[in-house]
Amino acid sequence: MKNFNYYAPTQVVFGRDTESKVAELVKKYGGKKVLVHYGGQSAIKSGLLAKVEKLLGEAGIDYVMLGGVKPNPRLSMVRKGIELCKQEGVDFLLAVGGGSVIDSCKAISSGRFYEGDVWTLYEHKDHATQYLPIGCILTIPAAGSEMSDGSVITNDEVEGWLKKDYCVNEFRCKFAIMNPELTFTLPAWQTACGITDMMMHTMERYFSKDDDMETTDAIAEAVLRTCMTEGHKVMQNPTDYTSRANIMWAGTLAHNDLTGCGTTGDWATHMIEHELSGMFDVSHGAGLASVWGSWARYCREENMPRFARFAHNVMGIDTNSMTDLEAAEAGIQAMEKFFASIGMPTNIHTLIGKEVTEQQMVEMADKCTNGDTLIIGGLKPLKKADIVKIYEMAK
């Protein structure tokens, strides 16, 4: 069991009509001039943005708007946000949307006072020393960014694009407003990608060499079972409040570090997928589903009993008469079957609609390992050649 420091300072305001509390929460955390950051047209069509504007205006809180955040949030949008904050004297950031919008806000937060290029932070070459505070109204449960310390940004200013993360405690939102009703109109694809993402956040922590933190393991297994059970329900009935609520809360718990306390996470699948979505601009959750099974088969010998436990405790397989290898394979196949049942791809060809080339796989592996100078993964250390093999298995 590893020592751990669990830090979760975000105030969660959960339930029906909780977005009505946005102005009082902004004031509580010192906001006087707010940048309201959002994505596409859904927040406008739903009336949520108009409601936010009305509440802020009635409370005497000045604000400016910046929309247009795309999935795999772009560095070019971050730069616009930083400049707007400087011009307008913004002192608080409000994300209205999902993980992409929140991650974009986090990047803007880190770049507002930083004297260098904000991308330098995501290259892990420096750290900012001052950040703007952030709050959010979550509309897409998936990334868990509402309580996490991380942000992932895609550099759309370089050939081939690059996708990198930056993680600091200052990125943790001051508050997260979470009304499951705001997710009722999410398309089935976006819902399925979100379920996959939150499950993978849990599994990245669960598949570890640390087997002696039973409390954490039990929490992780419960989150995974909930995602599958409630995920099937919500795919059938998108306006099922109870299922939407369970999924929304599971997504937050999956990435606020609770499911990794006392263990060493892996995160290789995320790093491998980041290069897929960086090169092909695919949905993150779908990308994760397309490569996870291949990663699992490549790495399972590092802790076969852990994969056997997953098969029994999470996937509900009777493993009593199986060897650990047989149980592990049964569990991996069952997970892939679940992904397929909610419309997720389980290979790269299905993900991108064409054959991935050898050159593309080598290029992605090279970027993933920074020219074979970085070791990826906590369960099994992976170098460039290993990652190429995983791509080949998943193609």
DSSP string for 130-178: ----EEEEE-S-SS-TTT-SEEEEEETTSTT-EEEEEE-GGGS-SEEEE
| Dihedral of the alpha carbons of 49, 52, 53, 59, in degrees to the nearest 10 | 180
Q: Report pLDDT for 204.
A: 98
The total number of residues written for the chain in this structure: 395
Q: Report pLDDT for 160.
A: 83
Q: Report pLDDT for 154.
A: 96
88 burial (CB, 10 Å; 0-12 / 13-18 / 19+) is middle
pLDDT by residue, tens only, the chain of 395 residues = 789 999 999 999 999 999 999 999 999 999 999 999 999 878 888 899 999 999 999 999 999 999 999 999 999 999 999 999 999 999 999 999 999 999 999 999 999 999 999 999 999 999 999 999 999 999 999 999 999 999 999 999 998 899 999 999 999 999 999 999 999 999 999 999 999 999 999 999 999 999 889 999 999 999 999 999 999 999 999 999 999 999 999 999 999 999 999 999 999 999 999 999 999 999 999 999 999 999 999 999 999 999 999 999 999 999 999 999 999 999 999 999 999 999 999 999 999 999 999 999 999 999 999 999 999 999 999 999 999 999 999 99
Q: Which fold has domain 186-394?
A: Dehydroquinate synthase-like, alpha domain (1.20.1090)
What is the domain class of 11-182 according to CATH? alpha beta
Q: Report pLDDT for 78.
A: 98
* Domain ranges (residues) in the chain: 11-182, 186-394
Distances (CA, A) of 182 to 49, 138, 185, 333: 12, 8, 7, 33
Hey, what are 164's tokens?
A: 């990198």
